[in-house]
């Protein structure tokens, strides 16, 4: 079977699956996702709130937070592919934190949320994108 035929067959299977499945918009789960992100950040940083952050720990913390966010989002809905990005920075005088993202999606069903968390020594910003697995067509 040629690659084109295989891709066509996969599209037919996906379209058939989509016709048997109710398409839900990301907006309907955004608040639950946001709550999970806050919970993930709180759980990973709870033991560190009373002490100064160690810069070597930031890489580990951002990785753990991103992983927990995707796992929690997947527990909420299997209808999306989830992508998480966690940016963490130690606070200092004159600190700037800039982040940007871009993607193409169906605004009727896909979506994202952003959570900013901070205490006196660090800032975390987590972005979650949810991309619908089923076509709304």
pLDDT in tens, 23-43: 889 999 999 999 999 999 998
For 42, residues 6+ apart whose C-beta sits below 8 A from its C-beta are 117
More confident residue, 130 or 105: 130
For residues 38-57, give the mean pLDDT: 75
Phi and psi angles of residue 115, each rounded to the nearest 5 degrees, phi first: -125, 130
The confidence score (pLDDT) of residue 91 equals: 76
Q: State what percent of residues in the chain have pLDDT above 90.
A: 42
d(CA 92, CA 120): 10
Q: What is the pTM of this model?
A: 0.74
């Amino acid at each position: 079977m040629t690659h084109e035929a295989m891709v066509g067959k996969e599209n037919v299977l996906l379209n058939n699956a989509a016709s048997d499945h109710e398409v839900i918009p990301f907006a309907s789960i955004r608040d639950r996702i946001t709550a999970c992100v806050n919970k993930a950040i709180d759980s990973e940083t709870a033991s560190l709130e009373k002490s100064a952050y160690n810069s070597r720990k930031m890489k580990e913390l951002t990785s753990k937070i991103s992983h927990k966010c995707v796992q929690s989002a997947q527990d909420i809905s299997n209808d999306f592919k989830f992508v998480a990005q966690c940016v963490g920075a130690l606070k200092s005088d004159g600190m700037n934190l800039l982040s940007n993202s871009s993607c193409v999606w169906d605004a009727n069903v896909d979506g994202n949320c952003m959570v900013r968390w901070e205490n006196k020594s660090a800032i975390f910003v987590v972005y979650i994108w949810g991309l619908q697995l089923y076509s709304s067509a």
